[in-house]
Amino acid sequence: MDYETLKNCFVAVFKHYKTEEIHVFKICALQDDFGDFIEFLQKNVREKNWHISFNGLSFDGQITNHILHNYIGWEEGGRKFAANIYQYAQDVIARSNRKEWQEYPEWKMLIPQIDVFKLNHWDNPAKRSSLKWIEYTMDWDNILDMPINHETEITTQEELNMIVEYCINDVDATKEIYNRSKNLIALRMNLTNEYNINLFNASEPRISKELFSHYLSKELKISKKELKSLRTYRETIKLENIILPYINFNTLEFNTLLKRFKTVELDPANIKGAFKHDLNYKNVKTHFGLGGAHGANKPGVYTSNEENVIMSSDIVSFYPMLAIKNGWSPAHLPKKEFCKLYEWFFNERKKIPKSNSMNYVYKIILNSTYGLSNDKNSFLYDPEFTMRVTINGQLTLMMLYEMIMEAIPEAIPLLQNTDGIETVIPKSKIDLYHKICKEWCGITDFSLEHDQYQKIILADVNNYIGIFNFVETDITKWREIKKANPHYIFRVKNGVFEYAPVKCKGRFEFTNLALHKNKSKLVIPKGIFQYFVHDVLPEDYLATNNNILDYCIGSKTNGGWQMVAKRIKDSEIEEENLQKINRYYVSNQGVKIIKKNKNDGRLIQLEAGPWIQTVYNKIELESKWKDYDINMKYYLQAIEKEINNILGVATNQLKLFN
């Protein structure tokens, strides 16, 4: 469902979640469906229907409840009703902008909501996404913005029809998001029923908070209300006091790092960026902060061969285990009970297959707890606990890194990142490698999981492609994996079915992208993947990719900027205002898209240089491939630039990797 609230016009559209049954209500001077609309809402209440919305808890649901509580005595006049609802909608938006509580909390709503915006956590600053942006990332055929400003007085049937068409489009998009979120919704429904806590619209961190508090309140024999009021606020955090006693290094580089950490005294209110240190060791730079360590060798293609093997070692459930093994808890919570429960979640998860949704729930709890300790709205809040985990985490990992590199001088470090390392070592030293890892596990009481790569295509610490060794399987499983992960490498060798998992990280990702992520120019990571994994030249790959959406780019602006399209017509420059979110591709003919600052007039080209764009907010299904007029040079150069960065060759020297 979705509402459109204009100054003198109100439109409501509802579509059944399973069928194409649709209800459209228009309340304005041109058409007055007031009575039918109220009757429909009353029926929803009687039949205990649900409204599925995008941001309905904070907007549409507020309007619904305002109407249901106040409609009696309202005059059935379209203009008056629309004006009242418009004013209320503006008040709702203003309250939201001021971060104030809305009039109707979820538990007060007469018609319950499934809010796909909330449950996908798109209200989080790191994931914040509008419906239009999600329409873009879903490759929605029509991401056109509202064609009429909400302050406009609607006077014609044509204008009214445009609003209805726009609203129906958004309802269809919301329905598609709902269909893609069915597993998330089913999980929340099961948890709601099992724990008697309304989790229908809960984000993953909220699920973690609610379930952890459910169990911990029982363990501590206190009410959840009392537990949720607890916090630990600190004036200062001295890192020297929280570093584990077994942290020990043998080299000057790492001892210098340790000394620097021990001199730091933090203001918990200003932690961000308060500590930075770069360390050069074995010709590899590693970056340290308060959040973790990240390091990578120079760009290149690193392969296992007859002499060497790329080893990957990850610490099992690293952050939870740091707390559990060392008996840490937020200071206001008893250590014994906290760690006992935390470990219980870990052990329970191990017993449950990954196909079981509770495995995922326990994973959420294990991973979110650390983050919630730095959230002032959480009963787990204690910034010193956060620092214990992150500081000791990176130092402990660096101990393993140093031990391996000092014991195996021929080893080549590739990646060090949060909870694991990737290293090239001589095959003759594999036993020694595992012996060192076992020694480290004995010191720290952690567990390591090991794997091997055939090849790592490395751009930097956050952007790489890793190809694991081949795994044997039966034909049924082989086909299932191939269907679910078509980018893996599959082969039948001597009658044996094998597959090699492939991990694409950062800007090289192109499969199963989360909907809030920017999927622009997917043809570029796909072209890079084809070159390094399947030995296909970029120009040959581009000649075979006729999916226009792989070439598309998404752009968005905030309120201080206006997107404009400039074109030359009859020797004069024409300028057209564009919507806030646009889908476009680089073409041989078209427009120049520019962001214009509304305050100071600054201009920023979306594609700097000579490149021209075509706006493609509405997909034309009948278009022939040649009609798109794509500028292949732009995409070819972008693919080759990434490949050049990794291989260190000139653009015109590209050849098949083998």
Q: How many CB atoms lie within 10 A of CB 194?
A: 12
Q: How far, in Å, CA of 23 to CA of 25, rounded?
A: 7
Residue that has been written with the tokens 């060392």 in this structure: 326
Give the pLDDT confidence score for residue 200 in this predicted structure.
95
Q: How far is CA 15 from the centre of its chain?
A: 28
| Helix then strand then coil, % of the chain, to nearest 5 | 40, 20, 35
Q: Work out whether strand 51-53 and strand 113-115 pair parallel, antiparallel, or are unpaired.
A: parallel
Structure tokens at 458: 């490395």
Ranges of residues in the chain whose predicted pLDDT is under 70: 75-78, 570, 650-658
Cα–Cα separations (whole angstroms), residue 553 to 509, 561, 587, 591, 636: 15, 18, 12, 14, 15
Give the pLDDT confidence score for residue 653 in this predicted structure.
56
Structure tokens at 165: 């068409």
Are 325 and 311 in contact by the 8 Å Cβ rule? The answer is no
Could you report how far apart the first and last alpha carbons of the chain are, in Å? 54
* Summary count for the chain: helices (H), strands (E): 20, 27
Structure tokens at 578: 């564009």
Cα–Cα separations (whole angstroms), residue 638 to 136, 462, 527: 22, 18, 10
Are 402 and 255 in contact by the 8 Å Cβ rule? The answer is no
pTM, 2 dp: 0.92
Query: Which domains occur in the chain, in start order?
Result: 2-187 (no CATH), 237-331+382-468 (3.90.1600.10), 548-653 (no CATH)
Give the pLDDT confidence score for residue 119 in this predicted structure.
94
Structure tokens at 200: 């229908």
Cα–Cα separations (whole angstroms), residue 426 to 94, 403, 449: 63, 16, 19
Q: How far, in Å, CA of 617 to CA of 395, rounded?
A: 49
Structure tokens at 386: 């956060």
Phi, psi of 6 (to 5 degrees): -115, 170
Phi, psi of 366 (to 5 degrees): -65, -45
Q: CA-based diameter of the chain, in Å?
A: 87
Spatial strand order of the sheet with 603-605 comes to 572-577, 561-569, 592-597, 603-605
Structure tokens at 391: 């500081």
Q: How far, in Å, CA of 613 to CA of 481, rounded?
A: 38
Give the pLDDT confidence score for residue 370 in this predicted structure.
87
The DSSP result for 573-616, as a single string, is EEEEE--SEEEEEEESSSBEEEEEETTT--EEESS-SS-EEEE-
Radius of gyration for the chain, computed over Cα atoms and rounded to the nearest angstrom: 28
Give the pLDDT confidence score for residue 656 in this predicted structure.
52
